[in-house]
Amino acid sequence: MPELAALGTLGFGAANLGNLYREVSDEQAWAALDAAWAAGIRYYDTAPHYGLGLSERRLGAFLATKPRAEFVLSTKVGRLLRPNPGHGGELDLANDFAVPADVKRVWDFTAEGIRTSLDESLQRLGLDRVDVLYLHDPDKHDLDAADREAYPAMIALRDEGRVDAVGAGSMSVDALTRAARTEGLDLLMVAGRLTLAEQPAAAQVVPAALDNGIRIVAAGVYNSGLLATNAPSADGRYEYGGVPPALLAHVQQIAAICAKHGVELPVAALQYTLRIKPVVSVVFGSAKPEQVAQTASRAAEPVPEELWTELAAAGLIP
C-alpha cells in the first residue's frame, strides 16, 4: 500500500467539485484545487457518485498537470454510471448534486463490476492509475455482497498491482465495523463518525482497525458544518437536516471550553480527530480557495493539551 506518510495530515475531498448542493464553475473548482496544492496537500479523494463523474473529470484534469509521483489519489467503486434514457433535462438534486441526470447510478458489487468501475474511473480521470480504492457506502446496497464479492475483487486488484490499497468508505458504524474485521483490507474512510461532536465509531470500529492493522482516513469532521463555526446554532446543518437539540447543547458546551482556552472550535474539531489512533489523515472538502487555505492553516495551529484534558473531565469527549 502507499506510504501512509504520503497521505499527509490533510486530504482534499472532491465531492464539492461535483456540484454538491450548488453549481461550481470549472474555474472555481480549479482555484480550490490550486489552493490545496499550494497548501501542501497531496492526497485527493473522489468518487463516481460525486456529480455523476464530474468530480473525477475535474480532479483528473487538475492532477494531470502535476508530477504523478507527488500525489496520492483515491476513488471509489460499487456504483457504475449508466445512461439514463428517462432523462428529461432534470438535475440530480435527489442525490444533492446540481448536475444533469443524463446518467444514473447502478449498484454492482460483482468482481466484474468492481473492475469495470475502476477502468471507467480511470477514463474519466484521464490518468493511468489510482492509489487507493474504497467500496462506497456498502451499507446502502448489500453488506453480504460486499464481503462475498466486492472486497475479494478489490484485494485481487491490489495483489495484481493495479492499486496499492483497498478499503471501505461509509457513514455506517455497522458497515465500518464489518470492514474493519475483514482480512486483507488496508484503509477505512470513516465519514462523520469520529468527530469532536460525536464518536460512535470509537467503540468498535477503532479497536477492530487497530487489531487488524487497518488505518483510518476520517471525513466529515465538521459534521456538515456544525463544527465549522465558533458559535454553533440551531440554524446550522447536521447530516441531512437540522441539529438535534441535545447535540447542539453538547457542542455549545465544547465551544465554550474552546473559547476559554483561546481555541477556535473548527481548529479543535480538525485536530481532535487527528489525535485518534489509527487515524492517519483527515479529508475535507470545499470549492472556495480561501476556505481551503484556512483549513490547512487550522491543522497547524497550536492547541494546548489542557483543552483536551478539560473536555474529557467534563465528559464531553472520551
Residue-wise pLDDT for 253-285, tens only, equals 999 999 999 999 999 999 999 999 999 999 999
Residue-wise pLDDT for 28-64, tens only, equals 999 999 999 999 999 999 999 999 999 999 999 999 9
Tell me, what's the pLDDT at 169? Answer: 98
Residue-wise pLDDT for 140-192, tens only, equals 999 999 999 999 999 999 999 999 999 999 999 999 999 999 999 999 999 99
Choosing among 1.20.140.10, 3.20.20.100, 3.50.50.60, 3.40.50.300, the CATH entry for 4-313 is 3.20.20.100
Query: 3-state class of 202 per DSSP?
Result: coil
Is residue 251 over pLDDT 90? yes
* Average pLDDT of span 125-132: 97
* Of 241, 214, 215, 212, nearest in space to 226 by CA: 241
Is residue 118 over pLDDT 70? yes
Instruction: Enumerate helices (H) and strands (E) in the chain, giving the number of each.
Output: 12, 10
86 confidence band (pLDDT: 50, 70, 90)? confident
Annotate 177-197 with b (16+ C-beta within 10 A) or e (fewer). Answer: bbbbbbeebbbbbbbbbbbbb
93 confidence band (pLDDT: 50, 70, 90)? very high
Is the whole model's pTM more than 0.85, yes or no? yes
Residue-wise pLDDT for 278-290, tens only, equals 999 999 999 999 9
6 confidence band (pLDDT: 50, 70, 90)? confident
Chain mean pLDDT for the chain: 96
241 confidence band (pLDDT: 50, 70, 90)? confident
Tell me, what's the pLDDT at 114? Answer: 98
Tell me, what's the pLDDT at 1? Answer: 63
Is residue 230 over pLDDT 70? yes
The C-alpha cell of 282 is what?
Answer: 483527515
Is residue 299 over pLDDT 80? yes
As a whole number of angstroms, the distance between CA 95 and CA 58 comes to: 19
Tell me, what's the pLDDT at 242? Answer: 84
Q: Decide if 219 contacts 283 (C-beta within 8 A).
A: yes
* Average pLDDT of span 225-247: 88
Active-site entry in 21, 43, 44, 50:
50
Is residue 3 over pLDDT 90? no
Tell me, what's the pLDDT at 285? Answer: 94
* Of 282, 286, 271, nearest in space to 43 by CA: 282
Alpha helices (runs of H) in the chain, residue ranges in sequence order = 4-7, 26-38, 54-63, 111-125, 143-145, 151-159, 173-180, 205-212, 245-260, 265-274, 289-298, 305-313
Tell me, what's the pLDDT at 5? Answer: 67
Partnered with residue 146 across adjacent β-strands are none
**Cα-based torsion angle of the residue sequence 282, 148, 138, 53 in order, rounded to the nearest 10 degrees:** 80
Tell me, what's the pLDDT at 239? Answer: 80
**Annotation says 44 is catalytic:** no
Share of the chain above pLDDT 90, in %: 92
